[in-house]
Chains A and B, each alone.
Chain A
Amino acid sequence: MAFQIIEGCVNCWACEPLCPSQAIYLPPGGAGSARPHFRIDPGKCTECEGDHADPQCASICPIEGVILDGLGVPLNPPGSLTGIPPERLAATMAEIQAR
């Protein structure tokens, strides 16, 4: 099984040096909106099996929903990185705006 990085990746480079299998790469390409984002080589990705308890790319990625597991499920689902679950978003927003 292998992970994949999908559109939405902001190319922050945080994951690339952490991968124990050197499976993460930035394809060559254009600038601006045509610029490619980081990808995971499915032939190399081991999901960090045997190297780390937690998959490294998904543990440092700052963007929710852009790294998927082998079944296509986001490893960082909505609300998991902001700490605010979707159902509490409106209430939290009101609280923050009252500051």
Chain B
Amino acid sequence: MLELKVLGQEGVGGGPAGGCTSSGCGGSLDALAHLPEHIRAKVHNHPCYSEEAHHHYARMHVAVAPACNIQCHYCNRKYDCANESRPGVVSELLTPDQAVKKVMAVAASIPQMTVLGIAGPGDPLANPDRTLETFRQLTEKAADIKLCVSTNGLALPDLVEELCQHNIDHVTITINCVDPDVGAKIYPWIFWKDRRIKGRKAAEILIERQQRGLEMLVGRGVLVKVNSVMIPGVNDQHLEEVSRVVKAKGAFLHNVMPLIAEAEHGTFFGVMGQRGPTHDELQTLQDACAGDMAMMRHCRQCRADAVGMLGEDRGSEFTLDKIESMEIDYAKAMEERRQVHAAIEANREAQRKKSGESFVSLSALKVRKKETRPVLMAVATTGGGLINQHFGHAREFLIYEATDKDVRFVGHRKVDLYCSGGDTCGDADTTLEKTIRALAGCEAVLCSKIGYEPWGLLEAAGIAPNGEHAMEPIEDAVAAVYREMAAEGRLERPAPAKLRLTA
């Protein structure tokens, strides 16, 4: 008898890391099963490392590290911008003291914030004094917050020892290549031993330092995630090898992100007209790399001063002038944080138990034994792992792939908010059309509610709007819609032409 079930929700593995809901996600149990218990426990409530956790927990970055020691062709060092959301961009630079105050203010106001990262706007390890001072104070004053750092790796081998002293147990290294010829097309220069070094030689040194840093961190038991920027025609063919190499050295998660290269951002690639990958190209590469290691697909490529759940930014609530006037009783906040985290965990546990029972027999649905085809669905959610957002309020959609065997998270797509409920509706048509284009390849969109106009336009575009599963767990709802489609006989015909799921 064929069974349709939601993979990973039957409580396999046990332990605190149990319950990742998708085989393709950042914190997939199977992929992380080889790690010791205490390491799996480390990512359980880390929104950037565990796909399931990102529905429940929030993160923040503090912008204490302005300087950078290399140039990447996808980066513009003019980072001061309030209206852009991408790595390397911040609104105000903080001193370590200001950063610590901000972290404590956010921890008190957003108790589900579990993770503090330093990610720029330059390279955190090219500003070691500012970065390490921030970590030192936080280890002392806010012991319940996990500390992370991301780096290009050039200065990493020299700082591994100190990072370990400050309890940093999550490090992200951006590794775009292991071949200096590829690297020379991405990095025009590095600053190394008091000199600027250009071309292939620069890439060679950077790669050597990144790989050595990775080995040293793994040797110390630090969790290492590797970020790679997918650049069509430059490293797209090469990233599968990068994935193999970093996995062999002990990186536990690989995050392949699409190149962001809008001309108006003023990066070299943007100005020169280098294109970014399509959704299809990105997913195909992620699937190809997934054979080698756990892949992260829920990264939102956030700003170096982002605050809140992944995909949202509440940074404007915590500007310097606002936090200056906040009085924070951190002992009291810690207690509240403990209670909120306990409630989140109880909720996750309840969702897991409920989903564990959701086995559905395909034969009971009178589906013929032959395989039904996979379907992509878009989901509007504000968090909590539930379908709980109005279509018109969604700034992004999570994309799930349903097959007759499982439901897995495969990525997310950003859209321009088309409805703010007010006087911006003059542009509604064009923005709505953009939203629908962003959902290309999806056959259904699940949301809590949806208006009349988008309903019609979605249907015309071949995307079935669905508001019938409001407040239900995402994977259960996607599985239910898939079953309905199967029962209606809609999954026997071949997939629409533009739906290319795997290479």
Q: B198 contacts A62, CB within 8 Å?
A: no
Q: B80 contacts A81, CB within 8 Å?
A: no
Q: B194 contacts A12, CB within 8 Å?
A: no
Closest Cβ of chain A to B432, distance in Å, is: 30
User: Does any Cβ of A come within 8 Å of B39's Cβ?
Assistant: no
- Residues of A contacting B194 with CB < 8 Å? 52-54, 56, 59
The CA-CA distance from A81 to B272 in the complex, in Å, is 15
Q: B188 contacts A82, CB within 8 Å?
A: yes
Q: In the complex, which range does the number of interface residues on chain B fall in?
A: 20 to 34
Q: A99 contacts B274, CB within 8 Å?
A: yes
- Residues of A contacting B188 with CB < 8 Å? 81-83
The CA-CA distance from A34 to B70 in the complex, in Å, is 28
User: Does any Cβ of B come within 8 Å of A93's Cβ?
Assistant: yes
Q: In the complex, which range does the number of interface residues on chain A fall in?
A: 20 to 34
Closest Cβ of chain A to B442, distance in Å, is: 27
Chain A, 28-83, CB within 8 A of any chain B CB:
52-54, 56, 59-60, 62-63, 81-83
Q: A97 contacts B273, CB within 8 Å?
A: yes
Q: Return the contact of A17 from the options B67, B77, B199 (Cβ within 8 A).
A: B67
Q: B71 contacts A12, CB within 8 Å?
A: no
The CA-CA distance from A1 to B189 in the complex, in Å, is 27
Q: Return the contact of A92 from the options B67, B198, B272 (Cβ within 8 A).
A: B272
Interface string of B70-108 (1 = CB under 8 A from A): 010000011110000000000001000000000000000
User: Does any Cβ of A come within 8 Å of B473's Cβ?
Assistant: no
User: Does any Cβ of A come within 8 Å of B153's Cβ?
Assistant: no
Closest Cβ of chain B to A92, distance in Å, is: 7
Q: Return the contact of A12 from the options B67, B198, B233, B274 (Cβ within 8 A).
A: B67
Q: B191 contacts A60, CB within 8 Å?
A: yes
User: Does any Cβ of A come within 8 Å of B232's Cβ?
Assistant: yes
Chain B, 463-485, CB within 8 A of any chain A CB:
none
The CA-CA distance from A65 to B435 in the complex, in Å, is 41
- Residues of A contacting B198 with CB < 8 Å? 83
- Residues of A contacting B234 with CB < 8 Å? 99
The CA-CA distance from A54 to B198 in the complex, in Å, is 14
- Residues of A contacting B274 with CB < 8 Å? 96-97, 99
- Residues of B contacting A54 with CB < 8 Å? 194-196
Q: Is the interface of A mostly helix, strand, loop or mixed?
A: loop
User: Does any Cβ of A come within 8 Å of B182's Cβ?
Assistant: no
The CA-CA distance from A18 to B73 in the complex, in Å, is 23
Q: A10 contacts B77, CB within 8 Å?
A: yes
- Residues of A contacting B69 with CB < 8 Å? 14, 60
User: Does any Cβ of A come within 8 Å of B405's Cβ?
Assistant: no
Closest Cβ of chain B to A94, distance in Å, is: 9
- Residues of A contacting B275 with CB < 8 Å? 97, 99
The CA-CA distance from A59 to B194 in the complex, in Å, is 8
Q: A13 contacts B273, CB within 8 Å?
A: no
User: Does any Cβ of A come within 8 Å of B122's Cβ?
Assistant: yes
- Residues of A contacting B272 with CB < 8 Å? 92-93, 96-97
User: Does any Cβ of B come within 8 Å of A22's Cβ?
Assistant: no
- Residues of B contacting A52 with CB < 8 Å? 194
User: Does any Cβ of B come within 8 Å of A11's Cβ?
Assistant: yes
User: Does any Cβ of A come within 8 Å of B268's Cβ?
Assistant: yes
User: Does any Cβ of A come within 8 Å of B441's Cβ?
Assistant: no
Closest Cβ of chain A to B260, distance in Å, is: 15
User: Does any Cβ of A come within 8 Å of B385's Cβ?
Assistant: no
Q: Rank and list the top 4 A-B pairs by shortest CB-CB distance, nearest first.
A: A99-B233, A13-B66, A10-B78, A14-B67
Interface residues of A (CB under 8 A from B): 10-14, 16-17, 52-54, 56, 59-60, 62-63, 81-83, 92-93, 96-99
Name 30 A/B residue pairs within 8 A (Cβ), A-sorted.
A10-B77, A10-B79, A10-B80, A11-B66, A12-B78, A13-B67, A13-B122, A14-B66, A14-B67, A14-B77, A14-B191, A16-B67, A56-B194, A59-B195, A60-B67, A60-B69, A62-B71, A63-B77, A81-B71, A82-B268, A83-B198, A93-B272, A93-B273, A96-B233, A96-B273, A97-B273, A97-B274, A97-B275, A99-B233, A99-B234
